[in-house]
C-alpha cells in the first residue's frame, strides 16, 4: 500500500511538472519592461480624447442598414459619411472583455500568461494610455475600470462604477446600464461648470474620458444579438453618443481640440456568446472623428477587401481603414506628412527598444547554438536593423521633401516588421531546448510505467533460461547519472536559466535511471515471447494505436467520436459475445449508436428547448424505475430482509425521483418563462436549485453500498443537477450515457465468463464497502488493455459529447439561470465546470465498478490508462504550433493542456469516486443483516 501511494504521488508530481512546463514554454508573458520612453517631438493635434466602447457590439449590427434603407445608429452613420474615418477592428482570441480592453487601451494582444491568472486582472504590470495621461475619467462596469486604475501610477485615473448587482441578465432592460453612464457623464460636466478646480483640470491637455457601455453585451447574452433588446440598445447608444458630443463641444467652446473614438472590445455570436474566433466575435466597428482624424474620404475605385461587407453595408463609396493593434494606422491621421513621418518613426523606435531589451535578456553562449538552429539568421537580422535605423536617421532631417517622407515611412514599417520578428525569436528562444527536455522526460516516464506493468502485473517467464538476463551494474548507472546531472547543471548555470528550467531538464535523469534499472524486465519479456499469442498481441497493438489516433483526431473533429462509437457497437459481434448474451449485446449496440448521435449535434448555435429538458427528466425517471425493478429481482436476500431493505432504499429513491420530476417539469420551465416575461429569477427556483446542487454529493452517501443501488443513487442525484444546468438536447446525454455504462458493466461479466475466469462474482452480490480479497486479484490479460481504452474513450466522449462544453464560445449564460442571473464569471464558471465534471463522475464510477467486478487491481488498470493518456499528451505536445492564427496556436496548446489536466484530474477524481461509491453516512443505524 505504501509503495502504491508513493508511486501515485511520484506520478502526480511528474505530471504536474510536465503540465507546468507548458507555461514556461508557451505561456510566458511577451511584455517587455525597462524601455526608454519615446515621444513625438511635434505638438499633438488633439487636447483630449473621448473613448466610447460599446461592449459586445458586432460590426455588422452597427453598419448594416434597416430594410427601409435607414440606419439604427443615424448619428454614427452620419459621422462615417461626413466627418470621420471608419473601419473594422480585427480582434484576437480570446474575445472576452478583459483582453479586448487591454488591447484597446494598453496596445498589446492578450498576455498568454494570463491563462493561469484571474479573469479580471493582468498577471504582470503593464503600461496603458490612461497611465500616460494627465487625467482620465472613467464610467462603466466594475469589472473593467478598476483594472486600469490599479495599474496606473499616481491617482490621476478616476473611476465611477455602478454596483455589480446591476449586471443582471434577467433585468427588465439592460440598456439602463448605458443610460446610467450617459447620465453620470452629463452630471459630471454639469458639476464642472460650478466647480472651478474640476473645470481647470478639464481644460488642461492630455485628458481622456472613457465610457464603458455594457448594456449591449448584457442584452446580447440574455436575448441574443438578433433580438429587439440588443438592436434597440444600439439606437440608445447612438442617441447617447450624439448628446455626449454636443455636450462636450459646448463645454469646451467648440475649440476643435477633441478627438472621438467609438469601438467595441469584441463581438458576439448569434447564440449570445463570445470567447473564440468566429468572425461575429472578432470583427468589431471602429469610428473615429474630431481633432487630428481624417474626414470621410470618398473613393471610386474598388477597395482591397474581399469579404463583401462594403456592399452589404452600402459603404463601398467611403474609404474603409481596417486596423490591427500594434502599428500606427496612418490613414486615420489628418495632419502634415512631417507629423506622420515623425509619428511612425517614434513607433519604430519604440518597437526597436523592446527588441533591444529582449535581446539583452538572452545572454547567448557558444553552447546555446546547439539549441538555436536559426541563430545566425537572426544575427544577420540584427545587422539589418542597425542599417535600417541608420538609413532612417539620414532621412529624419529632410522630411519636408515628399520623396523622403514616403521613404522614411517605408523604412520605418520595415524596421517595425523586422523588430517584431526578432522579438518573436527571442521570446521563443528557449522553446526548442525545453521541448526536448520535456519529451525526453515523457518518454522516460512512459517507458518506466510500461516496465512496472510488465514486472508486477503480467505473467512473464522469470525462470533461468538460455537467454542470460541483462542488468546494468547499479554503481556504473549511478555514476553515469551523476555525470549527466553535473553537465546539465553547468549548462544551465552558464545560461543563467530560471529555477524551473533545472526541474524540466533534470527530471529525465532519475526517470531514465529507473528505466535502466528495470532492464531485467525486458529480458523476461523476450524470454516469454515464445509463449505469448503474438498475432493477438500484434492485433491489439494495431487496434489500440488506431484507437489512440482516433481520439487525437476527435479533438479536432468531434464527429470522429461518432465513428469510434459505431466501431465499438459491433464489438460483441466480432468478439463472439453475441452468441452467449444476445440481449446485452443488442443493448450495447443500441446504447453506442444512441450516444453516437450527440457528437454530430452542433457545437453551438442551438436555441434553448426546455421541452427537451423535461423529456430528459421523464427518461431519467423511466430508466431509473426499470433499473430499480431489475436490481430488486436480482438481489438475493431473505423476504424479511428484502422488505426492510427496500423500505429504506425506497425512501431515498422516491425522494430523488420526486425531486427530479419537480426539477424537470417545474423549475427550468418556470425559470425560462419568468425570464422571458422579464419578471426575474423566482426565489423559490433559486432555493431549489442551490439545495439540489449542495446535496448532489451527499445524497448518494445515504444509500446502500450495494452495487446497483449505489450507482442508481449517484446517477439520480447528479442528473438532477445536470438538468438544472441544461437548456436543450444536452440534457439527454447523462441518461443515455448512464444506460450505456450500465450495459458495459453487465457485458464485461459475460466477457469474463467467456475468458473462463474462475471465481467470478455476481454483480447483485457485490458491495462497494467490502474489503477486496487480495488473493482473488488476478494478473493482467490482453482484454484489460481494451477495458482501459474503453475508459479513456468514454472520458473523452463525456467531455466532447455534448455541444455546449466542446468550445469556449459555446458557453451559454442561460445554462446557469436557474441558479443566478447576476453576472459573476467565477460562480458561473464554477457551475459550468461542475456540469462538465458530472459525466466524468458517471464514467469513473463505472470504471470503479468494472475494476471490482473483474477482480483486477485498480493500480494495474490505472497504469494502462496512464500510458494511453500520456501517449496522447505526447502526441499533442508535438502538435503544438507557434505559427498561423492565434486561434490555431491557442487551440493546439489547449489540447495538450486538456490531456495533461485529464491525467492529473483522473488521479484526483478516482479518489472522489472511491469515496462516493464505498462510503456511507447513517442518519440512523437500524438493526439489519445487510450493509
Mean pLDDT to the nearest integer, 366-379:
50
Sequence-distant (≥ 6) Cβ neighbours of residue 49 within 8 angstroms: 207, 208, 209, 258, 259, 260, 261
Q: Quick one: DSSP state of residue 29?
A: -
Query: What are the C-alpha distances in Å from 230 to residues 69, 175, 218?
Result: 19, 9, 8
Return the C-alpha cell found at 649: 432504499
Q: What is the CA radius of gyration of the chain?
A: 33
Question: With bands split at pLDDT 50, 70 and 90, how would you rate the model's confidence at 637?
Answer: very low
Q: β-strand 258-263 against 283-290: which pairing, if any?
A: antiparallel
Q: What is the pLDDT of residue 931?
A: 43
The mean-pLDDT minimum among 50-54, 360-364, 466-470 falls in 466-470
- pLDDT at position 214 over 70: yes
Write out pLDDT tens, residues 709-718. 788 888 888 8
Torsion angles phi and psi, residue 441, rounded to 5: -65, -40
Question: With bands split at pLDDT 50, 70 and 90, how would you rate the model's confidence at 86?
Answer: very high
Q: How far apart are CA 275 and CA 288, in angstroms?
A: 26
Q: How far apart are CA 895 and CA 839, in angstroms?
A: 19
- pLDDT at position 819 over 70: yes
Is there a contact between 425 and 368 (Cβ–Cβ < 8 Å)?
Answer: no
Residue 638 buriedness (CB in 10 A; 0-12 / 13-18 / 19+)? exposed
Question: H helices within 27-167, ranges in order?
Answer: 59-63, 74-78, 97-106, 145-151
Question: With bands split at pLDDT 50, 70 and 90, how would you rate the model's confidence at 612?
Answer: confident
* Torsion sign across C-alpha atoms 815, 821, 827, 829: positive
Mean pLDDT to the nearest integer, 69-73:
94
Is there a contact between 85 and 289 (Cβ–Cβ < 8 Å)?
Answer: yes
Q: How far apart are CA 505 and CA 514, in angstroms?
A: 16
Q: How far apart are CA 584 and CA 735, in angstroms?
A: 17
Q: What is the pLDDT of residue 603?
A: 63
3-class DSSP assignment, residue 85: strand
Write out pLDDT tens, residues 449-461. 888 888 776 666 5
The mean-pLDDT minimum among 259-263, 375-379, 712-716 falls in 375-379
Most confident of 65-79, 455-469, 496-510: 65-79
- pLDDT at position 776 over 80: no
Torsion angles phi and psi, residue 778, rounded to 5: -105, 170
| pTM score over 0.85 | no
Q: What is the pLDDT of residue 239?
A: 97
- Mean pLDDT, rounded, of the chain: 80
Q: Quick one: DSSP state of residue 568?
A: H
Q: How far apart are CA 435 and CA 505, in angstroms?
A: 10
- Cell numbers 448518494: residue: 700
Is there a contact between 40 and 342 (Cβ–Cβ < 8 Å)?
Answer: yes
Q: β-strand 283-290 against 48-54: which pairing, if any?
A: unpaired
Question: With bands split at pLDDT 50, 70 and 90, how would you rate the model's confidence at 929?
Answer: very low
Question: With bands split at pLDDT 50, 70 and 90, how would you rate the model's confidence at 470?
Answer: low
Torsion angles phi and psi, residue 48, rounded to 5: -150, 160
Q: How far apart are CA 196 and CA 204, in angstroms?
A: 13
- pLDDT at position 374 over 60: no
Q: What is the pLDDT of residue 638?
A: 46
Return the C-alpha cell found at 893: 496548446
Q: Which of 857, 639, 853, 642 is nearest to 765 (CA)?
A: 853
Q: How far apart are CA 241 and CA 262, in angstroms?
A: 9
Write out pLDDT tens, residues 32-47. 878 887 888 888 999 9
Q: How far apart are CA 99 and CA 114, in angstroms?
A: 9
Q: Which of 427, 409, 408, 420 is nearest to 352 (CA)?
A: 420
- pLDDT at position 261 over 80: yes
Write out pLDDT tens, residues 359-368. 777 655 444 4
Q: What is the pLDDT of residue 764?
A: 67
Higher-pLDDT residue of 794, 724: 794
Most confident of 488-497, 759-768, 823-832: 488-497
Peptide bond into 94 cis (omega under 30): yes
Q: How far apart are CA 295 and CA 84, in angstroms?
A: 5
Write out pLDDT tens, residues 274-325. 777 788 888 999 999 999 999 999 998 889 898 889 999 999 999 999 987 6
- pLDDT at position 394 over 70: no
Write out pLDDT tens, residues 541-578. 788 888 889 989 888 888 899 999 999 999 998 888 88
Q: What is the dihedral of CA 733, 738, 740, 743, to 10 degrees?
A: -170
- Cell numbers 480592453: residue: 101
- pLDDT at position 928 over 50: no
- pLDDT at position 667 over 70: yes
Higher-pLDDT residue of 349, 234: 234
Write out pLDDT tens, residues 575-599. 888 888 888 899 899 999 999 998 8
Q: How far apart are CA 248 and CA 678, in angstroms?
A: 36
Query: What are the C-alpha distances in Å from 634 to residues 641, 764, 930?
Result: 14, 6, 15
Q: Is 664 left (phi over 0), alpha (psi -120 to 50) or beta?
A: alpha
Q: How far apart are CA 473 and CA 479, in angstroms?
A: 10
Q: β-strand 283-290 against 84-90: which pairing, if any?
A: antiparallel
Residue 891 buriedness (CB in 10 A; 0-12 / 13-18 / 19+)? buried
Q: β-strand 207-213 against 135-140: which pairing, if any?
A: parallel
- Cell numbers 537467454: residue: 467
Q: How far apart are CA 806 and CA 645, in angstroms?
A: 42
Q: β-strand 258-263 against 48-54: which pairing, if any?
A: parallel
- pLDDT at position 809 over 50: no
Mean pLDDT to the nearest integer, 335-341:
86
Q: How far apart are CA 801 and CA 88, in angstroms?
A: 36
- pLDDT at position 213 over 60: yes
Write out pLDDT tens, residues 87-126. 999 887 777 777 778 888 887 775 555 554 544 555 456 7
Question: With bands split at pLDDT 50, 70 and 90, how would you rate the model's confidence at 383?
Answer: low
Q: What is the dihedral of CA 68, 72, 75, 80, to 10 degrees?
A: -80
Question: With bands split at pLDDT 50, 70 and 90, how would you rate the model's confidence at 49?
Answer: very high
Q: What is the pLDDT of residue 379?
A: 58
Most confident of 771-785, 811-825, 868-882: 868-882
- pLDDT at position 417 over 50: yes
Amino acid at each position: 500500500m505504501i509503495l502504491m501511494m508513493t508511486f501515485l504521488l511520484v506520478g502526480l508530481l511528474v505530471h504536474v511538472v510536465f503540465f507546468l512546463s507548458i507555461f514556461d514554454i508557451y505561456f510566458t508573458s511577451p511584455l517587455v519592461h525597462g524601455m526608454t520612453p519615446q515621444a513625438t517631438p511635434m505638438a499633438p493635434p488633439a487636447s483630449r480624447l473621448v473613448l466610447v466602447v460599446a461592449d459586445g457590439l458586432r460590426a455588422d449590427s452597427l453598419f448594416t442598414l434597416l430594410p427601409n434603407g435607414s440606419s439604427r445608429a443615424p448619428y454614427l452613420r452620419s459621422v462615417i459619411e461626413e466627418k470621420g474615418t471608419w473601419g473594422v477592428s480585427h480582434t484576437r482570441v480570446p474575445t472576452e472583455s478583459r483582453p479586448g480592453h487591454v488591447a484597446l487601451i494598453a496596445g498589446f494582444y492578450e498576455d498568454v500568461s494570463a491563462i493561469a491568472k484571474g479573469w479580471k486582472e493582468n498577471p504582470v504590470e503593464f503600461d496603458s494610455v490612461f497611465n500616460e495621461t494627465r487625467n482620465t475619467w472613467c464610467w462603466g462596469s466594475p469589472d473593467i475600470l478598476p483594472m486600469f486604475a490599479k495599474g496606473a501610477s499616481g491617482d490621476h485615473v478616476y473611476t465611477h462604477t455602478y454596483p455589480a448587482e446591476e449586471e443582471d441578465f434577467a433585468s427588465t432592460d439592460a440598456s439602463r446600464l448605458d443610460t446610467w453612464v450617459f447620465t453620470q457623464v452629463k452630471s459630471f460636466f454639469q458639476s464642472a461648470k460650478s466647480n472651478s478646480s474640476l473645470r481647470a483640470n478639464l481644460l488642461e491637455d492630455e485628458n481622456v474620458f472613457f465610457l464603458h457601455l455594457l448594456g449591449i453585451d448584457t442584452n446580447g447574452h440574455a436575448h441574443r444579438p438578433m433580438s429587439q433588446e440588443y438592436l434597440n440598445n444600439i439606437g440608445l447608444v447612438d442617441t447617447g453618443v450624439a448628446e455626449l458630443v454636443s455636450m462636450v463641444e459646448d463645454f469646451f467652446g467648440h475649440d476643435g481640440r477633441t478627438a472621438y473614438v467609438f469601438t467595441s472590445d469584441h463581438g458576439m455570436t448569434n447564440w449570445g456568446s463570445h470567447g473564440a474566433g468566429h468572425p461575429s466575435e472578432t470583427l468589431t466597428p471602429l469610428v473615429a472623428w474630431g481633432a487630428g482624424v481624417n474626414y470621410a474620404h470618398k473613393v471610386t475605385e474598388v477597395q482591397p477587401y474581399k469579404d463583401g461587407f462594403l456592399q452589404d453595408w452600402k459603404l463601398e463609396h467611403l474609404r474603409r481603414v481596417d486596423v490591427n493593434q500594434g502599428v500606427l494606422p496612418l490613414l486615420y491621421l489628418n495632419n502634415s506628412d512631417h507629423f506622420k513621418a515623425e509619428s511612425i518613426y517614434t513607433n519604430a523606435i519604440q518597437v526597436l527598444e523592446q527588441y533591444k531589451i529582449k535581446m539583452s535578456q538572452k545572454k547567448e553562449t557558444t553552447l546555446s547554438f546547439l539549441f538555436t538552429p536559426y541563430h545566425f539568421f537572426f544575427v544577420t537580422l540584427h545587422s539589418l536593423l542597425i542599417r535600417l535605423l541608420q538609413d532612417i536617421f539620414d532621412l529624419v532631417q529632410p522630411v519636408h521633401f515628399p520623396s523622403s517622407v514616403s521613404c522614411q515611412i517605408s523604412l520605418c514599417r520595415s524596421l517595425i516588421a523586422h523588430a517584431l520578428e526578432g522579438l518573436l525569436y527571442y521570446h521563443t528562444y528557449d522553446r526548442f531546448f525545453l521541448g526536448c527536455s520535456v519529451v525526453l522526460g515523457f518518454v522516460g516516464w512512459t517507458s518506466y510505467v510500461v516496465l512496472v506493468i510488465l514486472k508486477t502485473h503480467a505473467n512473464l517467464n522469470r525462470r533461468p533460461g538460455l537467454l542470460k538476463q541483462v542488468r546494468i551494474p547499479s554503481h556504473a548507472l549511478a555514476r553515469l547519472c551523476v555525470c549527466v546531472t553535473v553537465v546539465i547543471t553547468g549548462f544551465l548555470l552558464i545560461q543563467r536559466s530560471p529555477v524551473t528550467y533545472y526541474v524540466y531538464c533534470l527530471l529525465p535523469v532519475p526517470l531514465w535511471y529507473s528505466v535502466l534499472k528495470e532492464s531485467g524486465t525486458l529480458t523476461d519479456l523476450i524470454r516469454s515471447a515464445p509463449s505469448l499469442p503474438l498475432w493477438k498481441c500484434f492485433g491489439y497493438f494495431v487496434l489500440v494505436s488506431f484507437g489512440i489516433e482516433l481520439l487525437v483526431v476527435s479533438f479536432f473533429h468531434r464527429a470522429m467520436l461518432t465513428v469510434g462509437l459505431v466501431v465499438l457497437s459491433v464489438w460483441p459481434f466480432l468478439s463472439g459475445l453475441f452468441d452467449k448474451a444476445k440481449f446485452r449485446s443488442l443493448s450495447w449496440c443500441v446504447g453506442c449508436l444512441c450516444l453516437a448521435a450527440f457528437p454530430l449535434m452542433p457545437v453551438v448555435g442551438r436555441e434553448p428547448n426546455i421541452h427537451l429538458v423535461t423529456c430528459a427528466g421523464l427518461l431519467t425517471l423511466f430508466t431509473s424505475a426499470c433499473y430499480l425493478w431489475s436490481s430488486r429481482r436480482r438481489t438475493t436476500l431473505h423476504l424479511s430482509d428484502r422488505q426492510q431493505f427496500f423500505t429504506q432504499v425506497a425512501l431515498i429513491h422516491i425522494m430523488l425521483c420526486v425531486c427530479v420530476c419537480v426539477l424537470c417539469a417545474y423549475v427550468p420551465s418556470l425559470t425560462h418563462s419568468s425570464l422571458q416575461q422579464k419578471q426575474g429569477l423566482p426565489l423559490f427556483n433559486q432555493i431549489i436549485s442551490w439545495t439540489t446542487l449542495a446535496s448532489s454529493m451527499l445524497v448518494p452517501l445515504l444509500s446502500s453500498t450495494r452495487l446497483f443501488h449505489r450507482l442508481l443513487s449517484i446517477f439520480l442525484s447528479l442528473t438532477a443537477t445536470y438538468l438544472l444546468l441544461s437548456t436543450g438536447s444536452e440534457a439527454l446525454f447523462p441518461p443515455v450515457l448512464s444506460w450505456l455504462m450500465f450495459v458495459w458493466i453487465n457485458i464485461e461479466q459475460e466477457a469474463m465468463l467467456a475468458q473462463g475466469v474462475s471465481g467470478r462474482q455476481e454483480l447483485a452480490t457485490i458491495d462497494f464497502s467490502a474489503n477486496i480479497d487480495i488473493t482473488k486479484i488476478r494478473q493482467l490479460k490482453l482484454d484489460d488493455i481494451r477495458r482501459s481504452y474503453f475508459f479513456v474513450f468514454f472520458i473523452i466522449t463525456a467531455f466532447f459529447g455534448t455541444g455546449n462544453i466542446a468550445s469556449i464560445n459555446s458557453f451559454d449564460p442561460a445554462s446557469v439561470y436557474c441558479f443566478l442571473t447576476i453576472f459573476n464569471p467565477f460562480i458561473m464558471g464554477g457551475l459550468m465546470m461542475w456540469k462538465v465534471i458530472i459525466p466524468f463522475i458517471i464514467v469513473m464510477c463505472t470504471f470503479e465498478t468494472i475494476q471490482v467486478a473483474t477482480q483486477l487491481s485498480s493500480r494495474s488498470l490505472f497504469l494502462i490508462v496512464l500510458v494511453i493518456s500520456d501517449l496522447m499528451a505526447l502526441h499533442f505536445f508535438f502538435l503544438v504550433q507557434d505559427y498561423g492564427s492565434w486561434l490555431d496556436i491557442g487551440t493546439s496548446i489547449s489540447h495538450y493542456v486538456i490531456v495533461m489536466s485529464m491525467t492529473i484530474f483522473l488521479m484526483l477524481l478516482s479518489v472522489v469516486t472511491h469515496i462516493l461509491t464505498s462510503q456511507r453516512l447513517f442518519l440512523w443505524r437500524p438493526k439489519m443483516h445487510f450493509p
